[in-house]
Amino acid sequence: MGDMRKDYVSERFMIVSKNKKSVDGKKNPFAPGNESLTNPSVLSLVEKDGMLQRLQDSEDDFVEGWSIRVFESKNPVVTVETENSYSEKPFYSEPNYGYHYVIVASPNTKDTFSTISPEQWSNVLVVVQDRLRWLYTQKGVTYVSIYGDNGELAGSTNPHPHLNILTLSTIPPVIDAEAEASHKILNEKGVCHMCQTINEELSGPRQILQTDGFIAFSPWAPSYPYEFWIAPKKHTTSFSKITQKEINDLSLILRATLGGLTKTIKNVPYNLVFHLSPEKKNTRQIHWHIEIYPITKPWSGLERGYGIFLNDVSPEDAAEKLGIACRKELANLVGIL
């Protein structure tokens, strides 16, 4: 593994990874029957007699018939085996320390995030919760990041639907900046900025879809065309503490919006990213939510060089188109349930 390097002056980090990814084109390591191509599972969910059993691989015995599988990545972005080396500014670097797990969301190689059922999504999110709780008990874990990549342009090296969970020894700059801004607004105005945003978006032109507990909306100033966020309506800072009822509700809106997105833009690559508060004691918390970034066009020099984003689709127009597709998707799903 390499190291984590910080920019000369800004709070921007990059990771130097020296792992070489070798993927057998004829064998998908995430598919059933190819379990030996990955690290042994720490959790395999197997349905039996209408119940989900929690099993795990042994050294030479792999669990079969699984519906969800969790294992340590063979090509980790971070690792607990990194050397304890630091360097000073202006060439600051620190150990690339952390855990990196993969959650395979379905045994079906043809599935995507937008085709697996809401029930399957519920099981996936319960597994995410469990892994999140465990990781925050481990030494050296400051933040747990959770994300999924769909399509090569979104960074996916395997089309099989899976989430990455990796830990960091520092709070990521984006989350840190969001937490700092949220904390400042809370101190000055006595209100959570996300709660305020949600109240405005509930009946606004950027609302895409609602369930009892969640709202999907296009943000006022998106970085990507058709970008949307999914947030709990009530104020909550801890994803690991949401109830099973809330997980089921989240699964429904997540599946409906991702299905609506892929109906609106065929074969669109996208990233799915959880914006969560650090679970360890921290006064700067954020109203957790999920952000989805469709990749519909390359960035220009203005975007890459200056951080000013060009959008050829207004969030209001995007919300209108997505809303139509997502409501149809939700109606179909509710009819099936």
pTM: 0.94
Residues 158-170: what's their mean pLDDT? 95
pLDDT tens string 218-275: 999 999 999 999 999 999 999 999 999 999 999 999 999 999 999 999 999 999 999 9
Residues 170-194: what's their mean pLDDT? 92
- Position 144 scores a pLDDT of 96
pLDDT category, 22, cuts 50, 70, 90?
Answer: very low
- Position 18 scores a pLDDT of 66
Among positive and negative, which fits the CA dihedral 233, 180, 164, 226?
positive
Q: Give the whole-number percent of the chain exceeding pLDDT 90.
A: 79
pLDDT category, 281, cuts 50, 70, 90?
Answer: low
**How many other β-carbons are positioned within 10 Å of the β-carbon of residue 256?**
26
Domains of the chain with bracketed CATH: 98-336 (3.30.428.10)
- Position 316 scores a pLDDT of 98
Q: Which residue has the tokens 């395997």?
A: 158
> What is 23-92 written as a DSSP string?
--TT--TTSTT-GGGSPPEEEEEEEETTEEEEE---SS----SEEEEEEE-SS-SS-TT-----B-TTS-
Lowest mean pLDDT among 75-79, 99-103, 118-122: 75-79
Whether the CB-CB separation of 203 and 308 falls below 8 Å is answered with no
Q: Enumerate the active-site residues.
A: 162
pLDDT category, 9, cuts 50, 70, 90?
Answer: confident
Distance between CA atoms of 192 and 96, rounded to whole angstroms?
A: 33
**How many other β-carbons are positioned within 10 Å of the β-carbon of residue 162?**
22
- Position 1 scores a pLDDT of 58
Q: Does the pLDDT of residue 95 top 70, yes or no?
A: yes
pLDDT tens string 285-322: 899 999 999 999 999 999 999 999 999 999 999 999 99
pLDDT category, 283, cuts 50, 70, 90?
Answer: low
Residues 28-35: what's their mean pLDDT? 95
Q: Does the pLDDT of residue 282 top 70, yes or no?
A: no
Directed axis angle between helix 193-201 and helix 173-189, to 10°?
90
Distance between CA atoms of 270 and 208, rounded to whole angstroms?
A: 17
